[in-house]
């Protein structure tokens, strides 16, 4: 397999703030590569540089051998971008939006009309094509948003957290469409802070935190880093309880790491069965009521916690 | 270039689907014009033109009757509200008053003016003595009004002169008078004819258009462009706001990651604002022509003025967009600027009543130049008569465009 994307030591600074600190990775043609990291990790900034929207402070990347800094216009012809926020004209119809964005990618005449018709089929909006986007549900708007990125049949598709803020049904539809696009040969760079999405979709995952790529590999390779460790997720009614428990559980026998996020504590343990009893007994001693407990096999959440000392959802 | 048009046409389509924007762009100026028309009595037969106390300096060195007649016209009761006459004996003083912005027009009636029209000495019949009008370029409306009055007087004098000639010729042919009495009788008849002509038709704000047809000055022809120009400022700032809004909504960054140059995007947005402004002006002109029977004047002049006024206004819209950071700020400041320019540029009150320094300051507004041009056209002027406003507006548009491009280059279309 050849690399369609090669990223070399990409840096983006805003004054004293270092948003991206020398990120390097490759994506092979035909794979789905996920950038997994919490909010503010530098995922969107990285995609913005790769899609030539932002100029990197230093470093470079090439898409199909073409430099993003030296030949941005050539790069733009090869890539499709599905931004995190909906980037559509709500007072135009779905059809008018697709026509406009197709024209921005240089499509004209019959080829434009043909592609718009194909994409409308693909996103299952043929019946609503002549309705204004502002009349659509959130899921339908997301589909148009994705459709725009597909119009010119890009070699590499950047999808920046495309499932944020939508209902489970629409999320399912989007994940299925990403898989379908990949089956049809499209290479996808997918960013998310949902571990489940990265696990379901990706051939390989890059874990990014505070502007640094802290691990890259297949899911198997990454989970190997945490060995046979398992994860307990304790859910509480009060977020204060979670904070208190996270600090306290770090000292409990068998617990490797514990970190609070919202109303839950993620606890990395060697053996879930062995650690469960002391963890529960400690919560009872502190008089904190546990709502529920999940036990997970080694996963990307555990990898993230292992590498950064904090939960992915933070 | 093609993408520039595509972006511009997309923006035009979006504006015409935005109901609140349409209300501000089209309905508000239309209703305000209508309201001001009612206040001015335009729809009830009133004659309030909104123009008054035009300062006119009269320097009469003519020793004949016609010079004095002209002076009398400007001192007449009928024009008392409209004209404030100043009599001077010295042309230099009169010119100084114009230079000091104390008067709109200085009318110099030279010695021999009457003699040149109604000669008492047959040998000197070829002598041509002309009225000299020294005009103030910062008061084009008043100048237009005064010129119309002078034209009217001259045409009445001409009526009198022809009347006198015909009467005298008939009397001589029929042997009713002797040739030596011809001059005296001709003069008496001519003066009487001119007086009759004047009596039969009061002097009104009336002048002739380029094509020889008559153009009546209409208060709505002053108000309608005033309102249209004021709300044109809303349109251009709203267009600028759309550029900032597209940054926030993410559509601008999305265009910028397509194979489209920043210059094409900016050009497209500017073209869109220009198209919208021009469309707004033309729709308002068409609607007011059809519904209020406003005579805007020379169509070619109107079209050129619409285009140049929009260019000047777009320049201001771009400057604001290149300085202001958020759509909300731009809306607020744009509305304030629209009102300030409206007041300053003469959309509400004739700017000739403003103090001199404000009158000079008002030249930074497209409203002032545009309104001057539209009034000149409504008073019967043609394209050549509105060259000053056209050049003023073009200069304003180009200058502001260049400054805003520099500012956009420094700032970038998107932050990053």
Angstrom distance (rounded) from CA A180 to CA B125: 100
Q: What's residue B136's pLDDT?
A: 82
* Token pair of B204 as six digits: 């009104």
Contact A148 B254 (CB under 8 A): yes
Q: Are B309 and B189 in contact (CB under 8 A)?
A: no
DSSP state of A97: H
Model-level ipTM above the cut of 0.85: no
pLDDT per residue over B310-333, tens digit each? Answer: 999 999 999 999 888 888 999 899
CA distance A304 to A214: 9
- Measured from the Cβ of residue B144, the count of other Cβ atoms closer than 10 Å reads 25
> What are the pLDDT digits (tens) for A165-198?
788 888 888 899 899 999 988 999 999 998 889 9
> Is there a contact between B259 and A106 if contact means CB atoms under 8 Å apart?
yes
Tens digits of residue pLDDT in B99-149: 888 888 899 888 888 877 776 665 555 566 678 888 887 777 777 778 878
Burial of B390 (0-12, 13-18, 19+ CB in 10 A): buried
Average pLDDT over residues B374-390: 87
Q: Which residue of B has its CA nearest to A150?
A: B258
Distance CA A169, CA A176 (A): 11
Contact flag A87-B17 (C-beta cutoff 8 Å)? no
Angle at A139 between CA A138 and CA A144, to 5 degrees: 95
Please state, in angstroms and as integers, the Cα–Cα distance from residue A99 to each residue in A88, A93, B299, following that order.
12, 10, 37
Tell me the per-residue pLDDT of A221-237, one tens digit each, with 9 for 90 and over.
888 777 777 888 888 87
Which residue, among A100, A292, A228, A269, has the nearest Cα to B260 in the 3D structure? A100
If you search the block for the tokens 């409990």, which residue do you land on? A252
- Please name which of A295, A265, A296 lies closest in space to residue A283, comparing C-alpha atoms: A265
Contacting A residues, span 71-130, partner chain B, CB-CB under 8 Å: 73, 76-77, 79, 81, 83, 85-89, 91-92, 96, 100-101, 103-106
From chain A, the residues in CB contact with B14 under 8 A are 89, 91-92
Q: How many CB pairs under 8 A join A and B?
A: 60
Q: Do A87 and B414 touch (CB under 8 A)?
A: no
- What percent of chain B has pLDDT above 70? 77
Residue contact B10–A92, C-beta within 8 A: yes
Which chain B residues contact residue A73 at CB under 8 A?
A: 259, 261
Note whether A87 contacts B13, CB cutoff 8 Å: no
B259 inside 8 A of chain A by CB:
yes
Residue B193 banded pLDDT, cuts 50, 70, 90: low
Strands A32-36 and A58-63: unpaired
For strands A212-217 and A204-209, give the pairing: antiparallel
Contacts A89 to B, Cβ<8 Å: 10, 14, 251
CA–CA gap between residue B133 and residue B136 (Å, rounded) = 10
In 3D space, the residue among B133, B125, B76, B75 whose CA is nearest the CA of residue B104 turns out to be B133
Please give the structure tokens belonging to residue B99. 């230079």
Closest approach of chain A CAs to the CA of B405, in angstroms? Answer: 20
In the predicted structure, residue A8 carries a pLDDT above the cut 80? yes
Question: What does pLDDT average to over chain A?
Answer: 89
Residue A77 binned pLDDT confidence (cut-offs 50, 70, 90): very high
A81 → closest Cβ in B17, B257, B261: B257
Reply yes or no on whether the pLDDT at A254 is more than 90. no
Three-state SS for B138?
A: coil
Q: Parallel, antiparallel, or unpaired: how do β-strands A32-36 and A204-209 relate? A: parallel
Preferred mutation among B249, B251, B412 to probe A, highest tally of A CBs within 10 A: B251
Bridge partners, residue A36, by sequence: A192, A207
User: What proportion of chain A, given as a percentage, has pLDDT over 90?
Assistant: 51
Closest-CA residue of A relative to B416 is A54
The DSSP code sequence of B159-213 is HHHHHHHHHHHHHHHTTSS-GGGHHHHHHHHHHHHHHHHHHHS---SEEE-TTS-
Tell whether the torsion through CA atoms of A47, A51, A54 and A55 is positive or negative: positive
CB B363, CB B395: distance < 8 Å: no
Would you call B249 and A148 a contact, using CB atoms and an 8 Å cutoff?
Answer: no
Element (H, E) at B254: helix B251-256
A76 in Cβ contact with B261 (< 8 Å):
no
CA distance readout (Å), B141 to A241, B79, B147, B196, B380: 79, 16, 10, 29, 11
Count the neighbouring beta carbons within 10 Å of the beta carbon of residue A182: 19
Asked if the Cβ–Cβ distance from A104 to B416 is below 8 Å, we say no
Q: Running DSSP on this structure, what letter comes out for residue A171?
A: H
Q: Which of B405, B415, B235 is nearest to B331 (CA)?
A: B235
Q: Is the pLDDT of residue A116 over 90?
A: yes
Nearest residue of B to residue A151, measured between CA atoms? B258
Q: Is A53 on the interface with B (CB under 8 A)?
A: yes
Contacts of B18 in chain A (CB under 8 A): 91
Q: What is the DSSP letter of B27?
A: I
Question: Which range has the worst mean pLDDT, A95-104, B108-117, B185-194?
Answer: B185-194
A131 Cβ under 8 Å from any chain B Cβ: no
CA distance A66 to chain B (A): 14
Closest by CA to B221, choosing from B296, B324, B318, B146, is: B296
DSSP state of B54: E
């Amino acid at each position: 397999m050849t690399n369609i994307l090669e990223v070399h030591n990409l840096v983006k600074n805003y004054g004293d703030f270092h948003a991206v600190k020398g990120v390097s990775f490759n994506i092979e043609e035909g794979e789905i590569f996920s950038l997994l990291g919490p909010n503010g990790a530098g995922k969107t900034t990285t995609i913005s540089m790769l899609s030539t929207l932002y100029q990197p402070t230093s470093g470079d990347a090439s898409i199909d051998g073409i430099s993003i800094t030296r030949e941005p216009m050539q790069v733009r012809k090869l890539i499709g971008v599905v931004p995190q926020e909906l980037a559509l004209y709500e007072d135009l119809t779905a059809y008018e939006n697709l026509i406009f964005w197709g024209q921005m990618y240089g499509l004209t005449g019959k080829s434009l009309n043909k592609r718009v018709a194909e994409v409308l089929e693909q996103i299952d909006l043929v019946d609503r094509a002549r309705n204004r986007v502002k009349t659509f549900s959130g899921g339908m708007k997301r589909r148009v948003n994705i459709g725009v990125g597909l119009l010119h049949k890009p070699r590499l598709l950047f999808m920046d957290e495309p499932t944020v803020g939508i209902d489970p049904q629409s999320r399912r539809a989007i994940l299925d469409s990403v898989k379908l696009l990949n089956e049809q040969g499209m290479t996808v760079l997918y960013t998310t802070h949902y571990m489940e999405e990265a696990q379901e979709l990706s051939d390989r995952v890059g874990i990014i935190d505070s502007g640094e790529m802290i691990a890259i590999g297949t899911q198997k390779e990454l989970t190997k880093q945490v060995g046979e460790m398992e994860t307990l997720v304790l859910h509480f009614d009060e977020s204060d309880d979670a904070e208190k428990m996270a600090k306290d559980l770090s000292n409990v026998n068998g617990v490797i790491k514990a970190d609070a996020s919202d109303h839950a504590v993620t606890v990395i343990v060697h053996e879930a069965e062995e650690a469960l009893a002391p963890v529960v007994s400690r919560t009872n001693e502190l008089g904190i009521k546990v709502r529920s407990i999940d036990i997970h096999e080694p996963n990307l959440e555990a990898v993230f916690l292992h590498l950064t000392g904090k939960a992915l959802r933070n | 270039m093609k993408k520039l048009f595509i972006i511009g046409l997309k923006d035009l389509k979006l504006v015409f689907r935005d109901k609140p924007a349409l209300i501000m762009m089209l309905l508000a100026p239309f209703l305000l014009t209508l309201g001001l028309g009612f206040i001015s009595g335009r729809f009830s037969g009133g004659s309030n033109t909104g123009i008054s106390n035009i300062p006119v300096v009269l320097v009469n060195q003519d020793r004949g009757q016609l010079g004095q007649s002209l002076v009398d016209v400007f001192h007449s009761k009928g024009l008392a509200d409209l004209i404030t006459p100043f009599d001077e004996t010295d042309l230099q003083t009169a010119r100084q008053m114009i230079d000091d912005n104390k008067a709109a027009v200085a009318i110099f009636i030279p010695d021999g003016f009457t003699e040149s029209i109604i000669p008492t000495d047959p040998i000197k019949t070829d002598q041509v003595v002309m009225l000299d009008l020294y005009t103030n370029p910062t008061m084009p409306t008043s100048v237009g009004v005064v010129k119309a009055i002078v034209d009217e007087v001259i045409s009445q004098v001409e009526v009198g002169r022809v009347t006198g000639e015909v009467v005298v010729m008939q009397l001589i042919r029929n042997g009713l008078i002797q040739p030596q009495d011809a001059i005296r009788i001709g003069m008496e008849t001519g003066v009487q004819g001119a007086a009759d002509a004047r009596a039969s038709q009061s002097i009104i704000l009336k002048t002739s258009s380029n094509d020889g047809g008559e153009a009546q000055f209409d208060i709505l022809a002053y108000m309608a462009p005033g309102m249209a120009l004021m709300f044109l400022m809303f349109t251009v700032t709203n267009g600028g706001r759309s550029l900032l809004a597209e940054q926030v909504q993410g559509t601008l960054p999305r265009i910028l990651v397509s194979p489209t140059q920043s210059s094409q995007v900016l050009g497209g947005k500017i073209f869109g604002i220009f198209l919208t402004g021009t469309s707004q002006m033309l729709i308002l002109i068409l609607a007011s022509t059809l519904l209020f029977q406003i005579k805007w004047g020379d169509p070619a002049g109107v079209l050129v003025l619409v285009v140049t006024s929009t260019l000047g206004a777009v320049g201001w819209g771009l400057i604001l967009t290149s300085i202001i950071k958020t759509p909300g700020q731009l809306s607020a400041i744009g509305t304030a600027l629209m009102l300030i320019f409206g007041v300053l540029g003469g959309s509400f009150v004739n700017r000739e009543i403003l103090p001199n320094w404000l009158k000079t300051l008002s030249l930074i507004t497209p409203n002032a130049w545009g309104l001057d041009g539209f009034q000149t056209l409504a008073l019967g002027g043609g394209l050549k008569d509105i060259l000053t406003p056209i050049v003023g507006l073009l200069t304003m548009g180009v200058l502001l465009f260049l400054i805003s491009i520099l500012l956009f280059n420094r700032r970038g279309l998107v932050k990053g």
